[in-house]
Chain A
């Protein structure tokens, strides 16, 4: 088992390098000129060239990429923003925390709403709870985060005036962004849990359990849930990608000072270092969460555990 964990953790290194390479490559498709962006337009060409040379911008792509990696990992240096002329990391970090808070709160909320409802709906199929929540989750699958956010904004801050319409000053500011990103994911969790539960309920081992006289409670808790919730765990991890997507939209919509709104606003200003660094940091977080999910999964799924014990012996 420890072999599996170590293997997975070691695979993190090529993944992070690969992710950085993809983003760095895509962002370098358009020729930029950092010196002109940082020094301004009224500077002689010789100075521009000298500056680009000093920061190594005129090097070949791969060399530039290796330098970027080294600076990033060993010095925490992501370059200098073209807009604020400040080190990128200092600018990004506080906003990164805000986005992560938003995304992880969203993850918790969507899990708490979606999964228990999904279990209920599957256990009591065709009941009122099932019908109503299935219908709502079906409708929500067709509502993008920004439409939901606009509706929330319209109802809770314009019509009712209960919640602030922009920014996060206290905890009330979190309510609408978190709801806007977690409700669609909760609906998805609901559907996924329900179908996974229904799958498990119709398996032979459940029939066997019933046949040998196990009570309904034991059947559901011991046999169905244990098997049905395994794929759900992976799903919760995968959701983070969608939650981050939602966070970008919600930050823009509710004027939250997060990394998503930073990247979006810097795209129009062509502030490459900030966009690259922000994208890489978020991707690394996503990668680590996926890794943790894989490891947790391996610990609770006896099939994977068995596979690795067999391989070793």
Chain B
């Protein structure tokens, strides 16, 4: 379908084709109700995370007020207060900014690192491929969570180090994905034709390999953001996230355990925040996958 591109097509032609493809995907995505709901939720969430901090100060998320301890939701504190009397709404907003920020950056870096390694392995093949893939096999033999824990232990928990740890845990997906994409694509007739037509490696990569593999990478990246948000909240639940006074969803849930009996609202709101965020991203990701490859839906 889209993959059948003419090798003699000019760069402008490709650019046009690319645009048409994006339009086509968007047209199909618009028809997908789930994806649209997910996208809408994410937009709302993005706006809330960006705008609300203008009205709610960071202090209200960290100042302890024992007169308000475990207070039920009121007009002033719409989600209530936690075991230290801190405003849960503010903590969820600021925690969300940290979690989503970490997730986006870690996804970005793991995508870059993994894609480059995967492309190198797939494109050069032979010895290079062998070395990269064997090293990756060894790397993947350490379960993610243990490796991340070791990295966080060694480097200490901070915003940057968490991104480093999560990048190291997730780049492996991209290496395998991009490598297999490059391997299948370079065997396609149109790539061979353009090679026969005298196109150099750079040209083939830019005009054939990247445009044709970008879709799969985008779908995976979307799904990965959700996975990293869940994973990051797991780390903070285990006490390996951002250092203590800083709010984070996982850590809020971990703290809510002791008040579960009397104040379940401590547990409900951060749990909902995690689940709704991940759900919306997955909805969008599923929709994107279906609209990129209508075959799968049949």
Could you list which residues of chain A lie within 8 angstroms of chain B, going by C-beta atoms? 14-15, 18-19, 22-23, 26-30, 138-139, 141-147, 150-151, 153-154, 158, 195, 202, 240-241, 244-245, 248-249, 252-253, 263-264, 267-268, 275, 278-279, 282-283, 286-287, 290
Contacts and interface: CB of A to CB of B under 8 A. Distances in A.
B143 A27 contact: no
A244 B145 contact: yes
Interface of B: 134-135, 137-139, 141-147, 149-156, 226, 230-231, 233-234, 237-240, 250, 253-254, 256-257, 260-261, 264, 267, 271, 274-279, 282, 286, 296, 298
The 9 A-B pairs with the shortest beta carbon distances in the complex, nearest first, are A142-B278, A18-B138, A245-B145, A142-B279, A29-B154, A144-B230, A287-B141, A241-B143, A279-B146
Contacts of B239: 264, 268
Contacts of A141: 226, 278, 282
Contacts of A151: 271
Contacts of B240: 264, 267
Contacts of B137: 15
A143 B267 contact: no
Nearest to A195: B296
Given A150-B267, A154-B264, A22 B230 contact: no
A244 B142 CA distance: 11
B33 to A, nearest CB: 14
Contacts of A249: 234, 237-238
Given A144-B274, A245-B143, A290-B141, A26 B154 contact: yes
Contacts of B278: 141-144
Given A15-B138, A264-B238, A267-B240, A286 B275 contact: no
23 contacts: A14-B138, A15-B141, A22-B138, A22-B139, A138-B279, A138-B286, A142-B279, A144-B250, A146-B254, A147-B253, A150-B253, A150-B260, A241-B144, A244-B143, A245-B143, A245-B234, A252-B237, A263-B146, A268-B239, A279-B142, A282-B146, A286-B141, A290-B141
Given A30-B154, A142-B230, A147-B275, A252 B145 contact: no
Contacts of B151: 26
Contacts of B256: 150
Contacts of A195: 296
Given A138-B282, A142-B282, A22 B142 contact: yes
Given A142-B275, A142-B278, A154-B260, A283 B234 contact: no
B138 A248 contact: no
Contacts of A14: 134, 138
A306 B276 CA distance: 48
Contacts of A244: 143, 145-146
B142 A283 contact: yes
Nearest to B168: A26
B144 A142 contact: no
> Quick one: which of A18, A147, A150 has the most chain B CB within 10 A?
A147
A149 to B, nearest CB: 10
A89 B126 CA distance: 41
A27 B153 contact: yes
Nearest to B256: A150
Most buried by A among B142, B238, B239, B256: B142
B189 to A, nearest CB: 20
Contacts of A267: 149, 152-153, 240
Nearest to B138: A18
B41 to A, nearest CB: 12
B142 A248 contact: no
B274 A19 contact: no
Nearest to A145: B234
B133 to A, nearest CB: 12
Contacts of B135: 18
B145 A248 contact: yes
Nearest to B156: A30
A143 B275 contact: yes
Contact of A252 (B231, B238, B271, B296): B238
